[in-house]
Amino acid sequence: MAITETKDGIPADNPADNPADNSAHRADEVGLLRRLTSRKLSAISLAGVGFFLLLALVGPFFAPFDPAALGDEPLTGPSAQNWMGTDSVGRDVFSRFLHGSRVSILVGFLAVLFALVVGSLLGMLAGMKSGKLRDSVIMRLMDVILSFPLLVLVPVITGILAQRQLSLGPVSITPEVLVAIAIGIVLVPVFARIARASVLAEMREDYVTAVRSFGGRGKDILFRNLLPNISAPLVVQAAFALAMAVSVEAAVSFLGLGVQPPGASWGTLLADARQYVTLGAWWLVVFPSIAIALFVLFFNLLGDQLRDELDPRAKSTTKKSKKSGASAKGEQK
Amino acid sequence: MTENVPTPAPLLSVKDLHTHFPVGGGLLTKLRGQQQIVHALDGVSVDIAPRQTLAIIGESGSGKSTMGRSILRLEEPTGGSVSFRGRDITSLSREELRRERQHMQMVFQNPYSSVNKRNRLVDIIAEPLRVHGVGDASSRRQRSVELLELVGLNRDFLHRYPHEVSGGQLQRVGIARALATNPEFLVADEPTASLDVSVRAQVMNLLTDLKSELGLTMMFISHDLAVVSYIADQIAVMYLGRIVEIGSKQQLESAPQHPYTKALFAAAPKPDPRLRKKESAPLGEVPNAITRPTGCFYSPRCPLAEAKCFTDYPRLETKAAGQQVACHLVAPSPLVGATQLPITPV
């Protein structure tokens, strides 16, 4: 082959001979979890998030009583037998809390999953055709959703969905899933806007043109090329959205428009407690409230930390921004 | 292009290609019909014979990149036709065009921005094969190794990421990707402009080797005359979206006719001080592509401009065998006589 001679010229411009460089990217990927745990704040948030995930997964198995079983002693304070006391009809609050946590957290995750998938897809489709009809239609639709107050839209959507006996094949959709979808719909615009903005920036890069130039289809551009490059801000937003989804679920259920009794969630636990707080039954309010507050806190913390690690453009601390400024200068060359 | 010299049927034939971009203005200006338009490409015709390399040169904003992109329909041309292998590219349906893209590929200026940073080199090179459903994963991988070796890299590079290799190496990967589907035609849009001078020569060597080895037909876009004279068979000089002079490399280098071509070649640095000419460099900047000068677009900067130059745009006329010039001041060659090919309508 005539060109083999050019091989000899390569080592001259070969920074990758340095083995440290070779493994740099792999270290990036593996290192995310390590870097998150190495910082105190992110370690705390990770631990908190892990605790809640565990609570949702295995919590109900540790419930000492049937959460719906009525007891003989209503409104007793925390004791060795009833760790979080009993409610107005004598049900064990601890058992109800464990079951309710699973519902609340599951609803949150489902809602964010829905919003992440639908929102990102819509946003990317809009961003690929910026300024065109498709873009306008999608983004105006997002504006419509955003123009409603959260606490109005979620119950309305839940109500509309609940009217029809929805089912996915043999699986009938439970009221909890309905609430999750309703919250998910409300969160869609957040992800759509982020995805669209990120895609707009990426579309200017040559690699998108390159995919078109060798005959890539829309789906090749969308899923193989754009999605991996815009995933960081979406993941960050997902963490914040989880905190939001859980607090919205609690608020809607508290109003009696979300998860319906006798099903338990953090919101319905609070709703049940409302009448008895003035009678001094503090234990009915304190535990779900703390759970909601901590959940929101931990996921917001995690979102902040993820943003610092994944999304250098949005870095907040001065030390970090100086670093990213230097690398930006390097890229211009 | 040339009636006098018998040439094989062109692989690519561009006829009166226009690409206009609307710029600025909101709804109101659109409604008033005051939309401004950039004539990025304004009636360009050119043929490229098989295995020939046409270099497009010109200043920034002369429309040379737009030309490459319009021919591949990466920009949608607003008029004219591009015939490639006997088919009119501009009238293909989306799926037909997608299929046809296997035969015409592009090498980009900046290797780092033209690849997906998150893919390994093997995925980058094999992606054209994947989107066209060529072979299975292992055969595509095998082909990637072949391609890497073809561009002078070895299989150790397969699993590296773009940021782990140098610019010159990544540009080789870009070339390998462009060659993956065995295209006949390659548009190289300033493939060496963003590389170090030392690496530039390697990549140019690679391109010339590949050209002869694979029988590639190329359109080579550049503003670097030294690079162009290394690889080109023919050279077209563009100015504000039009070709002002086109001819063989020898013709343009030894006897440039258009004042702009002369100025360009005079401005190019030459290694031999005895070759330095006392030619005037182009005056001032390239005019605005939205509000272009009347008459010859080059007239405001041309040291030789006459009254006619400020009123009429000169037609692209044959001045010598295979050499066409758009200038009022260049007399037609007596050899060719009255053979005037009205290729660029004014």
Task: Return the CATH number at B136.
Answer: 3.40.50.300
Say how many CB pairs under 8 Å bridge A and B.
123
| CB proximity A28 to B under 8 Å | no
pLDDT(A70) > 60: yes
Cβ-defined contact of A4 to B152 (cutoff 8 Å)? yes
| Domain ranges, ordered by start, for chain A | 39-62+83-319
Q: What is the pLDDT of residue B341?
A: 45
The answer to whether A228 contacts B108, with C-beta atoms less than 8 Å apart, is no
Interchain proximity B165–A210, CB inside 8 Å: no
Average pLDDT, whole number, for chain A? 76
Q: Using the predicted structure, report yes or no on whether residue A19 has a pLDDT greater than 60.
A: no
Residue B259 has pLDDT above 90, yes or no: no
Mean pLDDT of B310-330: 84
DSSP A94-128: HHHHHHHHHHHHHHHHHHHHHHHHHHHHHHHHHHH
A215: nearest CB among B98, B114, B115: B98
The model's confidence at residue A9, banded by pLDDT at 50, 70 and 90, is: very low
The pLDDT score that the predictor gives to residue B70 is 92
- How far apart CA A211 and CA A219 sit, in angstroms, is 11
More confident residue, A57 or A5: A57
DSSP codes of every residue in B263-309: HHHHHS--S-GGG---PPPPPSPPPPSSSPPSSSTTTTT-TT--GGG
Which carries the bigger pLDDT value, residue A330 or residue B52? Answer: B52
Kindly report the nearest CA distance between residue A65 and chain B, in angstroms. Answer: 51
Please indicate, yes or no, if residue B291 is contained in any of the structural domains: no
Q: Which of B83-97, B112-126, B235-249, B325-339 has the lowest mean pLDDT?
A: B325-339
What is the complex's ipTM, to 2 decimals? 0.82
Contact A217 B98 (CB under 8 A): yes
Mean pLDDT of chain B: 83
Q: Please check whether residue A211 touches B, CB under 8 A.
A: yes
pLDDT at A193: 92
Q: How far apart are the first and last CA of chain B?
A: 18
User: Which residue of chain A has the CA closest to B162?
Assistant: A25
DSSP state of B58: -
Q: Confirm if B2 and B37 have CB atoms less than 8 A apart.
A: no
Does the beta-carbon distance from A214 to B181 stay under 8 Å? yes
DSSP string, B160-173: --GGGS-HHHHHHH
Residue to test with chain A: of B104, B116, B117, B185, most A Cβ within 10 A: B116
In a domain, B170, yes or no: yes
Residue of B27, B94, B161 best to disrupt the A interface, most CBs of A under 10 A: B161
B175-to-A77, A115, B141, B166 alpha-carbon distances in Å: 75, 40, 16, 14
Distance to chain B for A4, nearest Cα, Å: 6
Residue B198 domain-assigned (yes or no): no
The domain defined by A39-62+83-319 folds into: MetI-like fold (1.10.3720)
Asked if A22 lies within 8 A of B160 by C-beta distance, the reply is yes
Sort out which chain B residues have CB atoms less than 8 A from A207's CB and list them.
Answer: 113-117
Residue A331 predicted with pLDDT over 50:
no
pLDDT at A5 over 60: no
Residues A222-227, mean pLDDT to the nearest whole number = 87
Cβ–Cβ under 8 Å, residues B329 and B257: no
Instruction: Specify the pLDDT at position B315.
Output: 84
Under an 8 A CB cutoff, do A16 and B165 touch? yes
Q: Give how far Cα B317 sits from Cα of B7, B255, B332, Å.
A: 19, 16, 8
The mean per-residue pLDDT over the stretch B116-135 comes to 89
Q: DSSP assignment, residue A220? A: I
Smallest CA–CA distance from B197 into chain A, residue: A13
Q: What is the pLDDT of residue A115?
A: 93
Q: Is the CB of residue A76 less than 8 Å from the CB of residue A85?
A: yes
Of B112, B168, B177, the CB nearest to A13: B168
pLDDT at B336: 45
How many distinct structural domains can be found in chain B? 1
Q: Going by C-beta distance under 8 Å and a sequence separation of 6 or more, which residues neighbour residue B245?
A: B236, B237, B252, B256, B257, B258, B260, B261, B323, B324, B325, B326, B327
**Residues in chain B closer than 8 A to A206 (CB atoms):** 108-110, 113-114
On whether the pTM is more than 0.90, the answer is: no
pLDDT at residue B335 tops 80: no
- In DSSP notation, B143-193 reads HHHHHHHHTT--GGGTT--GGGS-HHHHHHHHHHHHHTT--SEEEEESTTT
| Predicted pLDDT of residue A118 | 94
Q: Which domain holds residue B142?
A: 90-183
Mean pLDDT across A260-274: 79
A210 contacts B166? CB cut-off 8 A: no
Residue A22: predicted pLDDT: 41
* Residue B162, domain member (yes or no): yes
Give alpha helix (H) positions in chain B.
27-32, 64-71, 94-100, 121-131, 137-150, 167-179, 197-214, 225-231, 249-254, 259-267
Quick: pLDDT tens for A149-195: 878 888 888 777 776 666 666 666 677 788 888 889 889 999 999 99
A18 interfaces chain B, CB cutoff of 8 Å: no
Tell me the pairing of strands B53-57 and B36-48.
Answer: unpaired
Query: Per the structure block, which two tokens stand in for B240?
Result: 């504000």
Give the HSE-up count for residue A277: Cα atoms under 13 Å, Cβ half-sphere. Answer: 10
Give residue-wise pLDDT tens across range A21-49.
Answer: 444 444 455 567 777 777 788 888 888 88
When comparing pLDDT for A3 and B166, which is higher? B166
Give tens-digit pLDDT for B73-93.
988 899 889 999 888 988 889
Q: What is the mean pLDDT of residues B147-170?
A: 89
Task: Check CB contact under 8 Å for B150 and A7.
Answer: no
pLDDT the model gives residue A321: 41
Write the pLDDT tens digit of every residue in A98-134.
888 888 888 889 999 999 999 999 999 998 887 788 8
The DSSP H or E segment spanning A245 is helix A227-254
* pLDDT level of residue B320 (50, 70, 90 thresholds): confident
